[in-house]
Amino acid sequence: MTAQPTPSRRVALVTGASSGIGAATAVRLADGGFDMAVGHFSGADRPAEVARLVEATGQRAYPVQLDLSSTQSVTQAYDDVLANFGPPEVLANNAGCARYLGWRKLMQMSQVFESGAKSRRAGAKPR
């Protein structure tokens, strides 16, 4: 949905808003009176569904695609939100990213963390 910015309306941007906690946060903020920029990384179906849930609260919604690892993408997304709603009053940074490391690498990292924790515990014992 494209609309002209309205200065009297409150605007929020939630990153990672296409599912889970981000989607719930977007709907809750909309319940609180915020127009919602539904930030998402990819796909169109899930952000569109969240936008419909936001609009069901009586607020406006705008799915905005962004990649938080790209300054250019973030700048473009912010410009899109400004053009459609005006400046956001609230930013909820919910997006996360993960990379598959594989079982062996995960176990190696776990052993490193565990040995560090053991050495700290050993050093903390009273003498």
pLDDT of residue 25: 95
Query: What topology does CATH give the domain 10-97?
Result: Rossmann fold (3.40.50)
What confidence tens digit (pLDDT) does each residue in 19-57 have?
899 999 999 999 999 999 999 998 889 999 999 999 999
| Helix spans in 4-91 (H) | 20-31, 45-55, 71-84
Model pTM score = 0.69
- CA dist., res. 16 & res. 98, Å (int): 13
CB environment 33-67: b (16+ within 10 A), e (fewer): ebbbbbbbbeeeebbeebbebbeebebbbbbbbbe
